[in-house]
């Protein structure tokens, strides 16, 4: 076994938002390193850190999951495969399962090195590239664990057991994810207006605070021009709708109270409606400015469609203001008693149902 050379490092593909530096920091759920290896044995050295929210890692070989594990804090060598056919090239993908955790300032996962007794080969770039923007549904919350489990722990999350990974695999696409459970367009599920994905969209991983995260590039501007995508899939709105039924949130820094409200008939009151529409239109403008040539597809409905009228209105307003018609909307199947997973979230069966609807729509949009 030997450490790989600098030339072999250049053959490793990184998926997900990163600052392009080594050691490779995997920030978001679904971020990964991929390599083709002709060897009998392969190991990867990782560095994991966390205080309370453990990090999970999954290994896929030739597209099949061969291991899924919780990492211990600190540096560790993980055997990826052992005693396989040394003459056969294996495609290896090492995936971060756990979403980014803003509240755990010690939370990180880095790929430090590889060791092998063989050689690395190049990994071809796939013909399509997609960016998925979302919340807990996009991070796969609830796709592991029994129905009725309510513990909020990373064991019940999966970056590959969900619609984003399955869609990308079916389309033979590269993809990246920017998502965070509980966050929305205007606010989080609890009316917290700092929990807004558009507010951190321009950064590599802007939702991670602290000097340690800053040191590994989380707060750097992401280079969209160097990493263009063919399609942006926006899957937000579920938490914005929840905010209408939750208590007010008070900003501890300013003392200002924030609350989205409903009228007696159950529809959003005018000011609340205006706040969401403004945030949604501005978010679409920002996505377009950073992805000038990619169609935008807004998907919604896996946990109810209460905000659908406002989403459609926001899309209509955006089209009128910009003249941009490269944006569309798609209903996803609602989660049922048969397809629900743990934590009352869409289970793996619900994600498979969503993929059945999403794949033909993407093929129609891209003409492929």
Question: Closest Cα partner for 313 from 285, 273, 282?
Answer: 273
Structure tokens at 220: 């750097």
Distances (CA, A) of 236 to 52, 164, 240, 241: 27, 14, 8, 10
Structure tokens at 269: 């009151």
Phi and psi at residue 273, to the nearest 5°: -60, -45
Q: What is the pLDDT of residues 99-143, one digit of tens each?
A: 999 988 888 899 999 999 999 999 999 999 999 999 999 999 999
Burial zone of 279 (CB within 10 Å; 0-12 exposed, 13-18 middle, 19+ buried):
buried
CATH top-level class of 2-121 = mainly beta
How wide is the angle at C-alpha 145 spanned by C-alphas 306 and 95, nearest 5°? 90
Distances (CA, A) of 140 to 127, 157, 181: 25, 5, 9
CA 117 – CA 353 distance, rounded (Å): 42
Question: Closest Cα partner for 241 from 203, 268, 223?
Answer: 268
Question: Closest Cα partner for 17 from 96, 77, 135?
Answer: 96
Q: Give domain limits for the chain.
A: 2-121, 128-366
Q: What is the DSSP string of 72-85?
A: PSEEEEEEEE-S--
Can you count the helices (H) and strands (E) in the chain? 8, 18
Q: Write down the pLDDT at residue 368.
A: 64
Q: Write down the pLDDT at residue 213.
A: 87
> What is 128-366's CATH number?
3.40.50.1110
Query: pLDDT 10s digit of each residue in the chain, 368 long?
Result: 999 999 999 999 999 999 888 999 999 999 999 999 999 999 999 999 998 899 999 999 999 999 999 999 999 999 999 999 999 999 999 999 999 999 888 888 999 999 999 999 999 999 999 999 999 999 999 999 999 999 999 999 999 999 999 999 999 999 999 999 999 999 999 999 999 999 999 999 999 988 888 888 999 999 999 999 999 999 999 999 999 999 999 999 999 999 999 999 999 999 999 999 999 999 999 999 999 999 999 999 999 999 999 999 999 999 999 999 999 999 999 999 999 999 999 999 999 999 999 999 999 999 96
CA 38 – CA 55 distance, rounded (Å): 29
């Amino acid at each position: 076994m030997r450490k790989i050379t600098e030339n072999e490092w250049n053959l490793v593909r990184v998926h997900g938002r990163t600052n392009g530096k080594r050691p490779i920091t995997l920030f978001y759920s679904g971020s990964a390193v991929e390599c083709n290896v002709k060897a009998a044995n392969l190991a990867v050295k990782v560095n994991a850190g966390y205080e309370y929210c453990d990090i999970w890692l999954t290994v896929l070989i030739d597209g099949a999951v061969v291991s899924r594990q919780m990492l211990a804090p600190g540096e560790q060598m993980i055997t990826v495969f052992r005693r396989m056919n040394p003459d056969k090239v294996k495609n290896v993908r090492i995936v971060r399962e756990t979403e980014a955790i803003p509240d755990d300032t010690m939370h990180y996962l880095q790929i430090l090195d590889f060791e092998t007794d063989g050689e690395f080969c190049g990994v071809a770039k796939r013909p399509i590239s997609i960016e998925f923007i979302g919340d807990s549904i996009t991070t796969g919350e609830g796709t592991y664990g029994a129905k009725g489990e309510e513990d909020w722990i990373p064991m019940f999350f999966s970056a590959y057991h969900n619609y984003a990974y399955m869609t990308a695999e079916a389309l033979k696409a590269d993809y990246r994810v920017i998502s965070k459970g509980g966050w929305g367009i205007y606010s989080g599920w609890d009316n917290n207006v700092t929990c807004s994905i558009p507010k951190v969209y321009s950064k590599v991983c802007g939702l991670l605070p602290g000097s340690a995260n800053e040191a590994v590039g989380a707060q750097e501007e992401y280079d969209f021009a160097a990493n263009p995508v063919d399609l942006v899939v926006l899957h937000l709105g579920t938490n914005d709708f929840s905010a209408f039924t939750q208590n007010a949130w008070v900003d501890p820094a300013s003392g200002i109270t924030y609350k989205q409200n409903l009228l007696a008939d159950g529809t959003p009151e005018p000011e609340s409606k205006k706040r969401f529409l403004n945030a949604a239109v501005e978010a679409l403008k920002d996505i377009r400015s950073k992805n000038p040539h990619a169609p935008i597809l807004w998907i919604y409905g896996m946990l109810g469609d209460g905000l659908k009228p406002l989403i459609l209105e926001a899309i209509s307003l955006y089209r009128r203001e910009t003249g941009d018609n490269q944006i569309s909307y798609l209903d996803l199947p609602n989660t049922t008693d048969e397809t629900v997973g743990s934590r009352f979230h869409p289970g793996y069966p619900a994600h498979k149902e969503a993929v059945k609807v999403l794949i033909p729509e993407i093929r129609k949009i891209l003409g492929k």
